[in-house]
Structure 1
Amino acid sequence: MPHRTEGKPREMAETEITQDARPVSTTRKILGWCVHAFTASGLAIAAVILYLLVRGGPDAFRWSFLLMILATIVDAVDGTFARAVRIKEAVPNFDGRRLDDITDFITYTFLPLMLVWRAELIPAGYEAWLIAPLLASAYGFCQVDIKTPDGYFLGFPSLWNVVALYLYALPIPPWPALYILLFLAFLTFVPVKHLYPSMPGRLNRFATNTGALWGLLAFALVGSLPTDAAPEFTSTQRVLAYVSLIYPIFYMVTSWYITLKAWLKPARPAEEVASAVG
């Protein structure tokens, strides 16, 4: 799409056009493709997780969770790299955001739900209900206005990797586990403002800082998971799971508080709004 130059001096418009047309250096192109390759490494990680879940074995679930954490780290930092090299200028004909969405859907939704099935965390014979969170997540990923103008994520984020971890690590019976999955899938369609740690805002910054600590606890929890296919958790592992659960609870409670506060805030009269705008 051409840049608009109306209302600008001719010299300034010509300068912008010249700068836009300036060729991108080979180094930046290479760096741009390196960033895309880094994002695509999430798909390679996903392939290994899929192999582990299909193969099974005494340590398949623990290694799957560890690799999901690695995929989350890749997703968390690739945007920073992309902005550093100005990726859209370096590689204009390749949509890295679409690659990122594909990778995220697989690693945040598809594989965690597959792990729930393989680990038999929900009642036997009711595995088809896992299609509900799968489709709900697809709906969320395809929403154009999923991110609000004031810096929040609208609807339940597709953090099924986190959900799967706690369904696995906590002594939650199969039926309540299924109800939790279906309830969270339903919340995908509810316009609740959820914290978006990478966006500006005091609460988002607090979520980022505390989320880093939670990430260390989650890594320690996953690293301590038993290797037996039918795990027997120690009291220390259970305590670690409950302590680390504080952050997800804070995340959900705070998100609902922000939303309810906005819903219950009285609407401003039309004349007052018009006066404020004027």
Structure 2
Amino acid sequence: MKSGERAWQQVMAWAVHLFTALGAIIGVWCLIAIHRGDYRGAFFGMVLAVAIDAADGPLARLARVKEVLPQFDGTKLDDIVDYLNYVVVPIVLIHAANLLPASISNWVLPIPLLTSAYRFCHISAKTPDHFFTGFPSYWNILVFYYYVGRSPLWFNAAFTLFAAMMVLVPIRYIYPGRTRTLRPLTIGLNILWGATLLIILWQFPDPSPSLVVWSLLYPIYYTILSFGLHWRFLWRAGEDLLN
């Protein structure tokens, strides 16, 4: 391989890592927006962070970053940025927006921070066949629906504790864009759902309640498909043990 071509590949690989790292900047911007009380801006930032996270993986594989820059661990960078944007930022927003009962908020919120930190560092957090193990710390989604759904504070607290527990339960959840089963349908619904969330954010501070309800169809689909595939995995594993 010519030196010029090799140098260009390294430039492209570093550019992909820079793109991933931009998510950290978005995360800090979200924290500043939350501090200012600009929750709409923080949610837009979280959507942008998700878009970067969705795009950097395919770009990394296209640029062959592991081969071109073997000395740099892009997976670790991605996990650091994801923990900030999927866990820290939404947990801070839950507290700042008073979405939990004030008497227990300071006791409840450390729990998802701890369980998610554990799951992010576990070697089985992502399986070789592209599933997440345990609830994938989608706290950004939960805080969004807490906020726009105006759910009771006691419900938010109970569901936060439940989701934090599910982080540690080794159920396999689909990895949108990579899990093979129904992948075209999942990607299509994911894009449609993302567009719906942007419309809801555009309607702030009074989004359409019916649109919020309809937008829940994708999270419901995601959960049903994940549990169904997990049950199929357990069934096949049991058959293999018996054979």
Instruction: Give me the identity figure in percent.
Output: 35
How many angstroms apart in 1 are the aligned matches of 2:172 and 2:240?
24
1:89 to 64, 67, 86: 67
Q: CA deviation at 1:123?
A: 0.2
Report the counterpart of residue 39 of structure 1 in structure 2: 20
Report the counterpart of residue 137 of structure 1 in structure 2: 116
Structure 1 residue 103 and structure 2 residue 94: aligned? no
User: For the Cα contact (< 8 Å) 2:94–2:100, is it kept in 1?
Assistant: yes
How many angstroms apart in 1 are the aligned matches of 2:200 and 2:103?
29
2:202 to 209, 223, 247: 223
Q: Where in structure 2 are there 5+ consecutive unaligned residues?
A: none
1:240 to 194, 198, 211: 211
Q: CA deviation at 1:191?
A: 1.7
- 1:179-258 alignment, distance < 5 Å: 179-226=158-205, 233=206, 237-258=208-229
1:260 to 213, 217, 231: 231
Which amino acid is the alignment partner of residue 85 of structure 2? T
Figure out how many residues of one structure are paired with residues of the other and give that number: 242
Structure with greater helix share of residues: 2
SS in 2 for 1:153: strand
TM-score by length of structure 1 reads 0.80
Q: Where in structure 1 are there 5+ consecutive unaligned residues?
A: 1-18, 227-232, 274-278
2:126 to 123, 127, 147: 147
Structure 1 residue 49 and structure 2 residue 50: aligned? no
User: For the Cα contact (< 8 Å) 1:195–1:203, is it kept in 2?
Assistant: no
SS in 2 for 1:146: coil
Structure 1 residue 171 and structure 2 residue 142: aligned? no
User: For the Cα contact (< 8 Å) 1:42–1:103, is it kept in 2?
Assistant: yes
User: For the Cα contact (< 8 Å) 1:24–1:89, is it kept in 2?
Assistant: no
SS in 2 for 1:157: coil
Higher-Rg member (1/2):
1
Which amino acid is the alignment partner of residue 99 of structure 1? L
User: For the Cα contact (< 8 Å) 2:131–2:179, is it kept in 1?
Assistant: no
2:96 to 106, 118, 125: 118
